[in-house]
Amino acid sequence: MTKPEHSGTTGRFPDGVWGFVDDINKYILVSSAFNMWMLTKTQDPEDPLRSLYDVDDENTIWQVGDWWHNSSVALLAGYVATGIVPVSDSGTFNGVGRFNGGPEVPFFVQNVQQGKRYRFRIINQSARNVFTISVDSHVLTIIEADGEAVTPMTVDQMDLLAGQRYSVVLTANQPVANYWINAPYVGGTASRNPNQNATLSRAILRYAGAPKADPAGPMTLGPVNPNALVEANLRPPEPTINITLNLVVTTGKAQWNVNNVSYLPPEVPTLLKILEGANKPTDFAVTENTFVLPKNAVIQVEFPPNDDDEAHPFHMHGNNFWLIKSNSSDLVNTVNPIRRDVAGVGAAGTIVRFTTDNPGK
C-alpha cells in the first residue's frame, strides 16, 4: 500500500522534502521538486490483490506533480504579501512536462503488452494541484485508495488531490496503437501564469508493436461524458471468509460458550503449538476454539443478537477492524465504518471485518 512521508513545514514539500513507501511491495521513492526519484522494490507474492493484475513493478508507477520555475521561498513570500495563490508553470507526468513556449520534450511513455492487466500506482505528489486522470479508450478499476484496499470500482476518469494515491488496474485490451494518458490539472487562476497549459500535462500508453509516435487522436482533457470517480461511492473490501460466533452464557454458572464450546487452556499452549508447526484446525483441541485463516484475506465476523443484555468487549490483538454493525444500532454500515480494536458484542448483535495482514513475529 502506497503511503507518503513528507515535510509539511512552509515550502519544504514542493522544494523536495518528501517520499513514498509502499509497504506491501516494498517500494521506496524519494523525490524532489525536480521530480528525480529513486526506487527499490521487493515483490510480495502474497499481495492480497495479486489476482487482480498481471504486472506490478518499478515501471508501473505514475507520479503526477506541479512544476514551479521559482523556489517556494519567493512564491510563499508573494502569497503572504498579497493573498494571491501562486499558480504552477506546468504539470509533470513521471518527471516530464511541457509549458507554453517551452521545449517540446518527449512525453513519458508507458509501455504495455496487449492482453495483460497492469496495476498502476498513481501518486499526486504536487504541492497543490488537483489532477484528473484518464486514458483514451480504456477504463480504470480502482482497487486501493491511500494505502487501503477497496471494493473494485471501474471508472474512466478520476481526480487526485495533492497527496492522494490510488492503485488502478488497466487491461490492455485495445488494438495495438498509441493512446493518450490525460492528466490535466487545476490549481489557482491559470491566467495568472502564461506558462500554464493543462492540456500539455499527459503521457502516452504504447502497446508493444505500435510505432514510436504520438497518438493519432487529439489532445483532450478526457472523456466528454465521463463515468468519473465519486469518492463517496468507494467501499471497504467485501469479505472472503465469514465467521459466526454465537455467545451463550450457561445459566447458573460462570461459563461462557462460543459456538457451544467453552474454552479450556490446553496442556501445550496454543502459541507454542504454532511455533512447533501446528497449522491446521485438527492440530488444536476443540476447546481451544482456534480458527486457522489464510493470509491477506478479508474476514467478517458476526456476533448474532442474543438474550444477554450486556455489551461484552471483543478485542483483537495486533489488528484493528471495521465496525460494520455496532450493537448500539441496527444499521449495517459498509460505506464509512470506523476502525478500532475493541467493540461491544452480545445483546443487539455486532459485525466486524478485518484483514489478515499482520501475522506477528
Three-class secondary structure assignment of 145-193: ECCEEEEEEEECEEEECCCCEEEEEEECCCCCCEEEEECCEECCCHHHC
| Residue 116 CB partners (closer than 8 Å, separation 6+) | 54, 55, 171, 172
CA 120/CA 115 separation, integer angstroms: 16
Q: Which three cell numbers stand for residue 35?
A: 521530480
- Helix H or strand E encompassing 39: strand 37-40
β-strands 312-315, 342-345 pairing:
antiparallel
CA 149/CA 299 separation, integer angstroms: 13
CA dihedral (258, 259, 261, 267) in degrees, to 10, reads -70
| Residue 175 CB partners (closer than 8 Å, separation 6+) | 207
Exposed/middle/buried for 271, CB within 10 Å: 0-12, 13-18, 19+?
exposed
First to last CA, the chain: 20
Strand partners, 247: 258
Q: What is the pLDDT along the chain (361 residues), one digit of tens a residue?
A: 555 555 455 555 566 555 555 544 444 444 433 333 444 344 567 787 889 999 999 999 999 999 999 888 888 888 888 888 889 999 999 999 999 999 999 999 999 999 999 999 999 998 889 999 999 999 999 999 988 888 899 999 999 998 899 999 999 999 999 999 999 999 888 889 999 999 999 999 999 999 999 999 999 999 999 999 998 888 888 898 999 999 887 777 767 789 999 988 899 999 899 999 999 999 999 999 999 998 888 999 999 988 776 667 888 888 889 999 998 889 999 888 888 888 888 778 999 999 888 877 6
